[in-house]
């Protein structure tokens, strides 16, 4: 913010798991042919030169003659850090004639290299937590701990080029009277140069990537696409959205970097630390397959109208039937339909036009006795995952949204999709939006769609015609092959397997428990309840939870219920989108003030 002389540093470091997977992906590309990489459009950003990265790789072989200190120097040049106390990814440690390396591409595996003099006597793969040997290896290949690693001579040349650009930029700023900008730029750049000279790296070193990679101004930055072989195959999922994102990424980044350079926060060369432009990506991409239920104009133009259509689903599921109802009394009708759907054991998705409408509708439906939440762009990404999980588990029955209930949302439990104000022609009610939203009900054999509209717009007509065309093909195919549609079965835990642990707890009860009935059993349960309360009072919540589950198991036995596995009831994890709350512009939740006239947003 130049006006207040404030430069907000990037506070969030790269996610540890993502960084490890990034190293694992580039390593796999350099070593193997059978590699599948899943990436977002962020792969268009610079990742470091593949030539430099691959040139600094070195091997260690059993029986090899090499100086241990030389290996340590190589590890430091690859930006590994020596840490004999806290051994973690990207570190190495030395214990006499033993060198232990924690590679950047592994999560729970490290290498132990044992020397006898200058000869490598043994190479062992081990668990860094327990120290237990996992396997004996004949050789290992060591990759850099950073994709921006640079050889010493290149680093010196880069530093000289940075100093030269700094001097030239200061000559421009000082005569213009921009003394604050000049002082700001000189201080920051000199600090970065000192860090690079001392450690080989600095915070935000990617802003000097043009010098580190030896590229000319305006040249495309090195990206993941340069690591791909010539025979690679690229799939672009939901291409009607992704192509637009690729087009817009470089423009938004350029505007931000231009401000940083203009006000002395960064050198002008930082502008070249950018994502690929669309034309650069188009020239660089390998053979490409665009995947979309609603392909955009650019994809259709590129294919010349020739494409493969995948209408038939392996499960035999067909596109849902569509019903049109009047806008008048749409909310009251929606409440009736949502209750019917909940009674059938299914969930309901509702789309509105604004955030305020979503929040108000959530409050209204809650007052009507429906378990409901809302989800829109102000809800954080991880909370959205939790909201979807809670919906699938039945913590609530209705989810109200705007533009997030579209691509890639697979909810087999969804039995109804309701689109309010479907006749309001625009981005949220375009042909593409309607088809994508309608498709959310296609994962359930009983799925259906209600469009609330007083007239049929062009977008509605095209969306309904396309759905009817696909539905007809699917029905004919199922009839010809004797296929009975079946609802998709998906493990709910798979959605957030890496985000949180399972909520259901299997209760293990020892066989040494005395067999008790009647009064004896009740007395034993009461004794366990006392222990449970005491454990909770002592903040021993795990023990209290175990005792609670054992009590439930005993009570189930007393009632004659099956007691093989008794699980704690699943509770909702998300606190977002609750009725009676509203998201502010900064993403915070606040209580609604009833009776006021809120603006639409």
End-of-domain residue from the set 435, 458, 488? 488
In this prediction, residue 14 carries a pLDDT of 57
Q: Is residue 432 part of a domain?
A: yes
Q: Is residue 104 part of a domain?
A: yes
Q: Give residue 590's pLDDT band: very low, low, confident or very high (50, 70, 90).
A: low
Q: Which long-range contacts (CB under 8 A, 24 or more apart) does 10-13 make?
A: 10/204
Residue 351 in domain: yes
Question: Whole-model pTM?
Answer: 0.75
Higher pLDDT, 469 or 560: 469
Share of the chain above pLDDT 70, in %: 86
Sheet holding 372-375, edge to edge: 322-325, 448-452, 414-419, 347-351, 398-401, 372-375
Q: Let me know if residue 16 belongs to a domain.
A: no
| Domain contains 454 | yes
Query: What pLDDT does 85 receive?
Result: 85
What CA–CA distance (Å, rounded) separates 369 from 335? 9
Q: Report the pLDDT averaged over residues 165-172.
A: 94
As a whole number of angstroms, the distance between CA 119 and CA 136 comes to 16
Mean pLDDT in residue range 558-566: 53
Question: Which of 122, 142, 162 represents a domain boundary (last residue)?
Answer: 142
Tens-digit pLDDT profile for residues 103-155: 999 988 999 999 999 999 999 999 998 889 999 999 999 999 998 888 888 89
Q: Report yes or no on 45 lying in a domain.
A: no
Domain boundary among 142, 167, 198: 142
Q: What is the mean predicted confidence (pLDDT) over 237-252?
A: 89
Tell whether 171 is covered by a domain. Answer: no
End-to-end alpha-carbon separation of the chain, Å? Answer: 26
The average confidence (pLDDT) of the chain is 85
Helical H segments across 352-397, by residue range: 355-367, 381-393
Q: How many CB atoms lie within 10 A of CB 306?
A: 6
Q: What angle do CA 339, 344, 347 make, to 5 degrees?
A: 65
Identify whether 458 is part of a domain. Answer: yes
pLDDT by residue (tens digit) across 360-375?
999 999 999 999 999 9
**CATH code, domain carrying 132:** 3.30.2060.10
Domain count, the chain: 2
Phi, psi for 168 (deg, rounded to 5): -65, -40
Quote the domain boundaries for residue 109: 58-142
Per the DSSP assignment, residues forming a β-bridge with 90 are: none
Question: Percentage of the chain with pLDDT > 90?
Answer: 57
Q: Looking at residue 489, what is its pLDDT? A: 74
383, 574 in Cβ contact below 8 A?
yes
Residue found by looking up tokens 């590994």 in the block: 80
- Average pLDDT score over residue span 508-535: 68
* pLDDT-based confidence at residue 181 (cuts at 50, 70, 90): very high
Measured distance CA(63)–CA(27) in Å, rounded: 24
* Buried-state track 489-516, b at ≥16 Cβ within 10 A, e below 16: eeebeebbeeeeeebeeebeeeeeeeee
Classified as helix, coil or strand, 462 is helix
Let me know: does 399 contact 375? Beta carbons within 8 Å: yes
- Tell me the sheet residues that pair with 136: 124
| DSSP-based three-state secondary structure for 116 | strand
């Amino acid at each position: 913010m130049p006006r207040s002389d404030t430069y907000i540093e990037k506070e969030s470091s790269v996610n540890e798991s993502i960084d490890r997977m990034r190293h694992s992906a580039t390593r796999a590309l350099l070593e193997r042919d059978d590699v599948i990489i899943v990436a977002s459009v962020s792969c268009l950003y610079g990742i470091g030169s593949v030539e430099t990265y691959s040139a600094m790789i070195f091997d260690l072989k059993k029986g090899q003659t090499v100086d241990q200190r030389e290996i340590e120097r190589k590890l430091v040049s690859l930006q590994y850090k020596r840490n004999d106390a806290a051994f973690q990814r990207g570190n190495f440690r030395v214990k006499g004639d033993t060198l232990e390396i924690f590679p950047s591409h592994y999560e729970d595996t490290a290498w132990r290299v044992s020397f006898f003099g200058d000869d490598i006597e043994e190479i062992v793969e081990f668990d860094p937590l327990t120290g237990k040997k996992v396997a004996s290896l004949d050789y290992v290949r060591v990759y850099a701990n950073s994709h921006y690693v640079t050889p010493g001579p290149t680093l010196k040349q880069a530093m000289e080029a940075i100093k030269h650009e700094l001097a030239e930029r200061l000559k421009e700023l000082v005569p213009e009277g921009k003394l604050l900008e000049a002082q700001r730029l000189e201080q920051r750049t000199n600090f970065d140069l000192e860090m690079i000279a001392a450690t080989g790296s600095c915070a935000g070193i990617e802003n000097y990537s043009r010098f580190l990679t030896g590229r000319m101004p305006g040249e495309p930055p090195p990206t993941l696409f340069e690591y791909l072989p010539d025979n690679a195959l690229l799939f672009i999922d939901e291409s009607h959205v992704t192509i637009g994102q690729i087009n817009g990424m470089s423009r938004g980044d350029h505007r931000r970097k231009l401000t940083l350079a203009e006000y002395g926060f960064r050198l002008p060369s930082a502008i070249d630390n950018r994502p690929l432009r669309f034309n650069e990506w188009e020239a660089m991409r390998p053979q490409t397959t665009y995947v979309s239920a609603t392909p955009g104009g650019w994809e259709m133009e590129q294919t010349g109208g020739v494409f493969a259509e995948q209408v038939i689903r392996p499960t035999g599921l067909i596109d849902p039937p569509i019903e049109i109802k009047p806008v008048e009394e749409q909310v009251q009708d929606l409440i009736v339909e949502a209750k019917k759907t909940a009674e059938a054991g299914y969930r309901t998705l509702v789309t509105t036009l604004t955030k305020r409408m979503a929040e108000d509708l959530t409050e209204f439906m809650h007052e009507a006795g429906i378990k409901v939440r809302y989800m829109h762009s102000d809800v954080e990404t991880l909370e959205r995952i939790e909201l979807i999980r809670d919906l699938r588990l039945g913590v609530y029955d209705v989810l109200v949204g705007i533009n997030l209930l579209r691509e890639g949302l697979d909810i087999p439990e969804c039995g109804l999709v309701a689109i309010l104000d479907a006749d309001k022609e625009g981005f949220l009610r375009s042909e593409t939006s309607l088809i994508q939203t309608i498709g959310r009900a296609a994962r359930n054999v009983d799925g259906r769609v209600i469009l609330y509209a007083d007239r049929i717009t062009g977008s509605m007509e095209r969306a309904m015609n396309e759905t009817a065309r696909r539905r007809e093909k699917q029905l004919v195919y199922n009839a010809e092959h004797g296929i009975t549609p079946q609802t998709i079965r998906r493990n709910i835990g798979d959605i957030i397997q890496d985000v949180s642990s399972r909520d259901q707890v299997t209760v293990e009860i020892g066989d040494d428990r005395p067999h008790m009935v009647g009064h004896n059993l009740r007395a034993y349960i009461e004794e366990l309840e006392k222990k449970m309360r005491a454990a909770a009072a002592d903040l021993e919540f795990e023990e209290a939870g175990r005792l609670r589950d054992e009590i439930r198991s005993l009570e189930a036995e007393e009632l004659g219920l099956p007691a093989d596995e008794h699980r704690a009831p699943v509770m909702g994890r998300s606190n977002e989108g609750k009725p009676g709350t509203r998201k502010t512009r900064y993403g915070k939740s606040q209580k609604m003030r009833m009776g006021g006239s809120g603006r639409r947003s």
